[in-house]
Structure 1
Amino acid sequence: MRWEELDQQPCSLARTLSVVGDRWTLLILRDCFLGVRRFETFERRLGITRHVLTDRLKKLVEHGVLYKSAYQERPRREEYRLTGKGLDLYTVILALVNWGDKHMADDRGAPVKHIHKACGHAMHPQMVCSECGEPITARDIRVEAGDGWQDRAPLVGSDRS
C-alpha cells in the first residue's frame, strides 16, 4: 500500500491517516487544541520549516479540519481555527496523550494535567461502549464487515485469536 493511496483504502483508519497521519500534523493539532492559531506561532513553537508547515496547514484546510479566518485586513492576515470536524479529533489526541502519559512519561509523571471543567478533577480518557456505557478494551471488541466493505477480501485474518 502506497502512502498516497491511503485515502482510497476501505479502512477508516487508513483514510484518517491520509489526513492526520504524520508527526507534524499531530503536533499542529495539539497546538490548535492549546489555542495556537497563527502561522508564526506554530512555526516558532514547533521549530518546523515554513514549507512543511504550509503544506500541513493547507491539507488540514482542504480536508475541512481547519478553516482560515482573517484577523487583520491591511495587510490581510489569517489564523487557523478548528472546525467541527477538527474538534472531533480531540478524543484521538487525548487518547494519544494518555498513552504517552502512561508509557512515555519520566519519573516526574505526566507533563500536563487535563482537568474536567464540570467536576474540577484531573481526568484520564476512558473508552466506553456507546450503547451500554461499559468500559471497553481491545479484547472486548469483535469486528464485522460493514456496508463499506462490500466485494472485498475477508476482513479478519485467520491468525487472530
Structure 2
Amino acid sequence: MPEPSALRIRAAVPADGEALSLVDRLTWSPLHAVMPEPQPPYGPFFDERHAPEDNLVAELDDRVVGYVTLTRPTKLACNRHVRQIQGLAVLDEARGRGVGRALVRAAVEEARRQGARRITLRVLGHNTAARALYAAEGFAVEGVLPEEFLLDGAYVDDVLMGRSL
C-alpha cells in the first residue's frame, strides 16, 4: 500500500512524551502488551531505558498517530551491531493507511544508519497482523518461547524475529 502523502516519520523529541504516552494508553491491548493496562497516574513515556532518540514518530496531518522504539538489546560491546524494535504502536484511526509499515521501514533504515548489521524484535504469537507485517518486511522467525506469557487466561508464545541489514 503506498504511503499517504500526509504521513511523516521523524525522530522523536522530548516534547513528544505526552503524545506518545497517550498513543500507548489508547493502543494498549493484550494482543500485543505483556504489561498490565496503564492506570493513572501515568508515568512518563521517556525514561532511563528509552530516550527520545530511541523513538521514531509517525504523524498524519501533523498529529502523532504512532511510534516505533528502536534500541540496542543490551549494553554489551559484543552486541553493539544489533538493534531491537522494542515497541510499535499505531492509533486505530490510522490503521490500514500504511503507518505501521512505514514505521518498520524507517526503523530498518535507522538501524542501518546507526551501523547495525541485524535488527530483531519479539512479538506475541497470537498477534497475527503484526507477525504478517514483520514477515512482509523481511523478518523471519528465529525462535519461539512456547507459552511464555499468561494473558487474559490463555498461554501465549513469545516469537523472536530478526533480519540482516
The verdict on a shared fold, with TM-score over 0.5 as the criterion, is no
Give the structure with the larger strand fraction: 2
Give the TM-score taking structure 1 as reference length. Answer: 0.30
Q: Which of these two proteins has the greater Rg computed from alpha carbons?
A: 1
